[in-house]
Each structure stands twice: as C-alpha cells, then as structure tokens.
C-alpha cells in the first residue's frame, strides 16, 4: 500500500488506487502510514484467529470469517471547507 501510494493521484481528496491490487482504503496521502499500520494489525490479529484475507478480482479487500466472506474498506472522513479567494491588495492612489 505504502509503495503504491507514491505513484497514484488524488481523486476527490482520496488516493485513487483504481486498477491496483492493494487493500481497499479511501484515504488521503497524509494518513498512508497510519492506514498501513491499522491494516497490518487487523490482518495479523485476525489471521491468528484463523481468518483469511485476500483482494478479489474486483479489487475488494475480503476477510473470510467462519466460511463467510466479508468486504472490508477503510474510509477516512474528509472535512472539506471551501477556501475563500485571497483578498485583493489595497489600491494605491
């Protein structure tokens, strides 16, 4: 995830992983490391309990729990605030 993040562009504030074989996450570039740590901890802990993880053909991250596949996606909330245009400098007389 971290390695691929450097090569992708932003789309609506999120990294656009379309066509990449990576864990399913809608995140901004500022939280890549945190997302990788979170996914790493989730996967290791759940695999210790016998769950299996994979990325399917559609690019969804799937975890199988008691023979039941479940789609997993990590989504970052983005607070979008319009940035006002800069004020024009005062005119000199």
Calculate mean pLDDT across residues 38-64. 91
50 pLDDT above the threshold of 90: yes
Q: Enter the pTM of the model.
A: 0.64
Higher pLDDT, 80 or 3: 80
Does 1 score more than 60 pLDDT? no
User: How far is 5 from 59, CA to CA, in rounded Å?
Assistant: 15
**3-state percent helix, strand, coil for the chain, nearest multiple of 5:** 25, 25, 50
Domain ranges of the chain: 2-75
Does residue 11 surpass a pLDDT of 60? yes
Query: What confidence tier does 30 reach under pLDDT thresholds 50, 70, 90?
Result: confident
């Amino acid at each position: 995830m971290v390695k691929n993040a450097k090569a992708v562009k932003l789309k609506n504030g999120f990294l656009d992983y379309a066509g990449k074989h990576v864990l399913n996450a809608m995140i901004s570039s500022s939280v890549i490391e945190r997302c990788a740590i979170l996914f790493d901890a989730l996967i290791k802990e759940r695999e210790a309990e016998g769950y299996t993880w994979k990325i399917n053909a559609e690019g969804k991250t799937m975890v199988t729990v008691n023979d039941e596949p479940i789609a997993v996606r990590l989504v970052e909330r983005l607070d979008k605030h319009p940035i006002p245009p800069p004020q024009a400098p005062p005119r000199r007389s």
